[in-house]
Amino acid sequence: MSLPYNPALDGVRALSILAVVLFHCDVPGAHGGFIGLDIFFVLSGYLITSMLTAEYRHGGIEIGRFYAHRALRLYPTLLLMVAVYVGLAPILWPADDRWLSAVLAALYVYDYALAFWELANTIGHTWSLGVEEKFYLLWPLVLPLLLRTRHPVRWLVSVFLAITAWRYFVAMNWTWAQAYFRFDTRMSGILLGAIAALTHLKVSKRALAVACMVLLVLMALPSLPTSHQTEAVTLRITLAELSAFVLICFAAEHGRAKFLASRPMVYIGRLSYGIYLWHFPLVLLLRDTQPLWITLPVTLVFSLAMAAICLHLVDTPLKRWRQKAWPEARRTA
């Protein structure tokens, strides 16, 4: 089931990926930029739940079709990045067990691998894809059951609170890595996005301003992986998720919001998946040996270029083929 295209949501993607890249490049004032992933998680929960709910209400969810769409949308660019990594690892990262890393990334299990093992982190950023992929696998099966209940939003709020409490417990009793990387501790943001999809809350400009201010403060605070670890994976993630909830509710209602829907923001948002995949291995090569004025622009140019190549030469042709194979398919996420 297709949804009307909302350019402001691509603008939200752009904000998220820029925060992550600045964080990984060690830009001063962006030490908490990992919250960009919290925004991504909430946005994913919103988009997928909106799409599946619309499909459910128009005849039922076609689970096989959904899985095929997700695989065609996400897997080709991931496999291309992994293949490049495997080819270059003996030269650039000779200490890596590149085949183990490649398998973990391709099977979307880097989230649990990083939580429990000491591994090479060169493509460890794919942990967040593992979190989302598990959601994609489970949600088409669970959502119809939820929608049949009398109060689906109450159930979602209860589960959100339970998962948040579970993450706090893990952080306070084990390690920050176990609280930060795992699907079972990080799906709280995705559930919050699902709540946004089912409630369609209208937020005021004052609420939006407060949410944006909170996100800016969280981004500026010193944080993972060297300091404030427990606080970062408990209170700060919760504040980031709630602020992202407000931002996404606003963007959902105001699809033509001037800044979020501007052409540069929309295009960066469209490239965000590719930027995320390609930027991190290069950052690891540069940030400890090169000054910021080299690391940041080189990372941005390279990741933007690779993301654009993947979008226009991989994703777009596959999208056209998919629309011929499944004519009713349209751009949804």
Q: What is the pLDDT of residue 98?
A: 96
Residue 328: what pLDDT? 58
pLDDT in tens, the chain (333 residues): 667 899 999 999 999 999 999 999 999 999 999 999 999 999 999 999 999 999 999 888 999 999 999 999 999 999 999 999 999 999 999 999 999 999 999 999 999 999 999 998 999 999 999 999 999 999 999 999 999 999 999 999 999 999 999 999 999 999 999 999 999 999 999 999 999 999 999 999 999 999 999 999 999 998 888 888 999 999 999 999 999 999 999 999 999 989 999 999 999 999 999 999 999 999 999 998 999 999 999 999 999 999 999 999 999 888 888 777 766 544 444
DSSP string across 93-153: -TTS-HHHHHHHHHTT-HHHHHHHS----TTGGGHHHHHHHHHHHHHHHHHHHHHTSS-HH
Rounded CA separation 255/257 (Å): 6
Q: Tell me what pLDDT residue 327 has.
A: 67
Q: Which pLDDT score is estimated for 318?
A: 85
- Alpha carbon 279 to its chain centroid, in Å, reads 14
**The pLDDT value given to residue 45:** 98
| Predicted local confidence at residue 333, as pLDDT | 46
- For residue 88, CA distances in Å to 29, 45, 94, 290 come to 32, 34, 9, 20
Residue 329 is predicted with a pLDDT of 44
CA distances from 222 to 19, 33, 168 (A): 14, 10, 19
Would you list the DSSP string of 248-291?
HHHHHH-TT-TTTTSHHHHHHHHHHHHHHHHHHHHHHHHTTTS-
Length of the chain: 333
